[in-house]
Structure formats: C-alpha cells, structure tokens
Amino acid sequence: MQFSLTDIAKKNVLAVQEYSLLAWSSIANIFSSPRYIADTFQQADIIGVGSLPIVVLTGFFLGAVLALQSANSLARFGGLSFTGELVSLSMVREIGPVLTGLMVAGRSATGMASELGSMQVTEQIDAMRALGTDPSKKLVTPRVVSTVIMLVMLTVISDLVSMAGGAMVAVFMLRQDANQYWSTAWQSLGLGDVVMGLLKPFVFGYIISTIGCYYGLSARGGTQGVGRATTQAMVSASVIMVITDLFITQLLLNFFPFT
C-alpha cells in the first residue's frame, strides 16, 4: 500500500486532533458527573506510591553525584562553601522535576499505554462504551488527575532526598560543615525557584498521563501494536516533556529572573 505526503500529513493532523480532544476532555470531565474518585485514589497509589522507590533512589544518588562534581569544580575557585546552594538550586529548579518526570514517564506512561492498549485490542474499551460508561471519564481522567498530583509530590520528595544525598557527600566525603551546607541550600531558594520547581511537575504530569492514555487508546494490531504504543508513549512523553521544559523555563524566567 502506497502513502502520499498528503495521506501522511492528514494522518498526523488527525493524531494531533485526537490527542487534543482527549487532553481537553480529561480536564473537562472533572467538572461533570460521574466522577470516579475511588479510581483516582487507586491510580494515585499505583503511580505515586509505586514510583516512590525509584524516585527516592535516583534522587538521592543524583544529589550525591551532583555535590561531588560541583564541589570538584567549585574548589578550583575557592567556592566549596556554595556546594549546598548549587545542589539545591539545580535540583529544585531543573533536575528534580525533569528527573522525576522521566522516572514516572518510564514507569507510568508505559504502564498506561500497555494497560489501555491491551483493553483496546481486546475490545474491552468498546465493551465499556457498550455498557454505557465513558472510557474517557472512567479511565483517562483518574489517571491524569492522579499523575499530576502525585508528580508534584514526588518531585518535592525527590528534591529533599537529593539535597540529603548532596549533604552526605559534602559532610562525609568533602568534610564540609553540615549546618553550612543546609543553611546555604535553604537560604538560596527564592519564591521563583519554588514556583518553577512546582509548576514544572504539574505540566509534566499532564503531558505524561495524556500521552500515555492517548497511545494506549489508539493502539491497533494486537500485542505487537500494544508494544509499539508502549514504546511510542515513553519516547513521546520524554521528548515532549524536555522540549516543554525549555519553554516553561524561559517563560518563568520573565516573571522570576535570577537575582
């Protein structure tokens, strides 16, 4: 079967349209009944509590390695005392949200795509519609709401744990004063840093969950199609998240410039 450029363009425009409709309805559903509160809590448990170990582990060791690397560079300029500040600013403003987002994308976007994809190819989604239940309300909105809320919480935890990792390196390996580390780490954070650190996971959570659900619900072609949807969900969520990160950062720098 041959595809012209027009066919490819139409297919992509259709995909963007379908994704936009799904993303919009996932929000609009919050304001209309029925609302699936129990499903939302169940998803929050799967996404949030389930992701906690990998977020804590990666956050802690990334904070530690960041402290090690930055201390090495800062020592050349006699700025070893700024280790805590550098770790906390880097983690809260940028690395914490992106790292946590990537971890959750790897775990949850793929999970959503494979679960919903399996339901799609085995006609369970059609069966749900046939039973008079809106899959968008029952399956998509609980996942989107819980991912957004849990990603914000996981990011805060990741930030704290990474600073603790940095502290471990600074105190036990670099022989810095613990009070100095924590006071510089804490005092360096301003309102803009916190806003940036909390707004990013909010947006990333929305991107990860809507993309995971979109690829799942558009899966075609049996188990191979589900595998393809899972891979595409991970790749697309990660790439779009990182690209969006640039724009959010630039936008927020206009409101909260570095002082």
Partner 1 sequence: MDQSNESHEPVIVFEDVSIEFDEKQVLDRLSFTLPHGQTKVLFGVAGAGKTLVLKLALGLLRPDSGRIFVLGNEVTAMKEQDLFALRQRIGMVFQESALFDSLDVEDNVSFRLREERVPREEIDKRVTDALRFVELEHTLKLFPSELSGGMRRRVAIARAIITNPEVLLYDSPTAGLDPVTSTTIVELLVKQRDVYKTSALLVTHRLQDAFTMATHYFDYDKNKMLPVPHGWDWNSNTSFLVLKDGLKLFEGNASEIANSNNEYIREYLSL
Residues that bind partner 1 (CB under 8 A): 34, 118-119, 122-124, 126-134
C-beta separation of 86 from 169 below 8 A:
no
The least CB distance from residue 141 to partner 1, in Å, is 14
C-beta separation of 241 from 204 below 8 A:
yes
Comparing CB distances to partner 1, the nearer of 125 and 148 is 125
Comparing CB distances to partner 1, the nearer of 34 and 221 is 34
Q: What is the DSSP letter of 218?
A: T
Comparing CB distances to partner 1, the nearer of 93 and 137 is 137
Task: Judge if the upstream peptide bond of residue 34 is cis by omega within 30 degrees of 0.
Answer: yes
Comparing CB distances to partner 1, the nearer of 30 and 127 is 127
The least CB distance from residue 127 to partner 1, in Å, is 4
Q: Report the alpha-carbon distance of residue 252 to residue 258 in Å, rounded.
A: 10
C-beta separation of 147 from 247 below 8 A:
no
Comparing CB distances to partner 1, the nearer of 78 and 132 is 132
Among candidate residues 98, 99, 93, 91, the one with its CA nearest the CA of residue 253? 93
The least CB distance from residue 163 to partner 1, in Å, is 39
Q: 231 by DSSP, 3-state: which?
A: helix
The least CB distance from residue 215 to partner 1, in Å, is 19
The least CB distance from residue 53 to partner 1, in Å, is 23
C-beta separation of 81 from 188 below 8 A:
no
